[in-house]
A and B are shown apart, each in its own frame.
Chain A
Amino acid sequence: MLTQQIAVLGRPVRRNMITVRIEPENRELTLDRAATVTQLLHKLDRKPGRALVIRDGGLLTPDLNLKDGDHIIVRDVGSKG
């Protein structure tokens, strides 16, 4: 089911998958696509008011839908010293 490869920004991403970079640790994950930003944050054990969610250089609100092949940045905002 998740076999077809498509190229997004030069990197192959399987259908129904998204790529997520967690900042500030710069960890990159490939996940089954969550339907919305809220669901993505839930998968990552984060709450909407504690991380910026960024796609194509713009901020996403929790209600927005995600698309196959999205490259998302989740930037934690809590200062650690």
Chain B
Amino acid sequence: MKCKRCQVPAVVALPSHHTAFCRDCFLVFARRLVERAIKEHSMFTFDDRILVAISGGKDSMALSWQLKELGYTIEGLHIDLGIPESSPIARSYTERFCAANSIPLHVIETASLGLAMCDVKRRVKRPICSVCGQTKRYLFNRFAMDNGFTVLATGHNLDDETSRLFANVMRWDVEYLSDQGPVMPAEKGFAKKVKPLYRLTEFETANLCFLAGIDYGYAPCPYSSKASFPIYKKLLSELEDIQPGRKIRFYDGFLKDGRQGFAPRGETSVDIQPCTTCGYPTSAGECGFCRLKAMMNDEG
């Protein structure tokens, strides 16, 4: 198999794009997908201060590396979730990566807030993935807002986005469908959120890490077996095997023609107000994060 651009032996085959690349040309290909996402959706400019959520996995590492390579001003935020089986490993990969790439790194330990996820899991009745996701979103947003970052970037890839879209369609979740996309604008206490890797599959981000020499963590969260998105990912991957390119067309088509059909008509029923405890936006009187923190610290 030859590289489509320069005809030397290829190292990556990409059926979805009907192509194959050598190392150098794959890195050009990946860089252009990221540049295209940034440009088409006006995600940020070289004047922005970008906070990247870095988990220690391949996607957030690939994103950080690529944005740094492109010359953007980035800093990393890692949330140490306090899960004994996986958090120390994820944190050590993140710290090594940021040190090696001269990326300033901030770390928040949820245990210092009384929210080690191993303890939270024992006490809450809701699915732990939901509570953990809510906690991370709150902390990322709050850190970005409190520290003057103009953009919060996450490493969501095409598989993440299409599986979420698929799940939202299967539930006909109109509210989520109305605002799913690679950019969430800044508003009412929320930082602008962007997903510059949304055009790359997780196979492509894994190849990017390998070819760029990024050493990423493999330790999966021990609680994630209950998550539903992997089911949708698997179904979409099987469809992609039969119809290469289906995932990106599904997502592009939704952004171009589908999403507008779910736009709110008139006033929405969700009233966003400052949390009575922390002042950050919520649809309840006190936000979910503050209620969780109060519950954990009261019962601790």
Contacts and interface: CB of A to CB of B under 8 A. Distances in A.
Do A and B come from the same complex?
yes
Interface in A59-81: 59-64, 75, 77-81
Contacts of A79: 57-59, 202, 220
A50 B206 CA distance: 10
A81 B59 contact: no
Contacts of A52: 203, 206-207, 210
Interface in B1-33: 1, 10-16, 20
B220 A62 contact: no
Contacts of B223: 81
A23 B218 contact: yes
A10 interface: no
Given A49-B201, A58-B11, A61-B10, A81 B220 contact: yes
A12 interface: no
Contact of A50 (B14, B220, B227, B237): B237
Nearest to B220: A80
Given A24-B218, A59-B207, A61-B20, A81 B11 contact: no
A47 interface: yes
B13 A61 contact: yes
B105 interface: no
A80 B203 contact: no
Contacts of B230: 78, 80
Contacts, number: 69
Given A47-B241, A49-B240, A80 B221 contact: yes
Given A77-B206, A78-B230, A81-B220, A59 B211 contact: yes
B275 interface: no
Give the most central of A23, A48, A54, A80: most B CB within 10 Å: A80
B233 interface: yes
Query: For the complex, would chain B's binding face be called helix, strand, loop or mixed by DSSP majority?
Result: helix
A81 B237 contact: no
A64 B11 CA distance: 10
Nearest to A64: B1
Interface string B200-243: 01110111001100000011110111010010010001001100
Contact of A59 (B12, B14, B129, B159): B12
Nearest to B59: A79
Nearest to B132: A81
B187 to A, nearest CB: 29
A49 B207 contact: no
Contact of A48 (B13, B57, B202): B13
Given A23-B218, A81-B224, A62 B13 contact: yes
Interface of A: 23-24, 47-50, 52, 54, 58-64, 75, 77-81
10 contacts: A48-B13, A61-B13, A62-B13, A63-B1, A64-B1, A79-B59, A79-B202, A81-B220, A81-B221, A81-B223
Top 6 nearest A-B pairs (CB, nearest first) are A81-B224, A24-B218, A81-B221, A80-B220, A77-B206, A59-B11
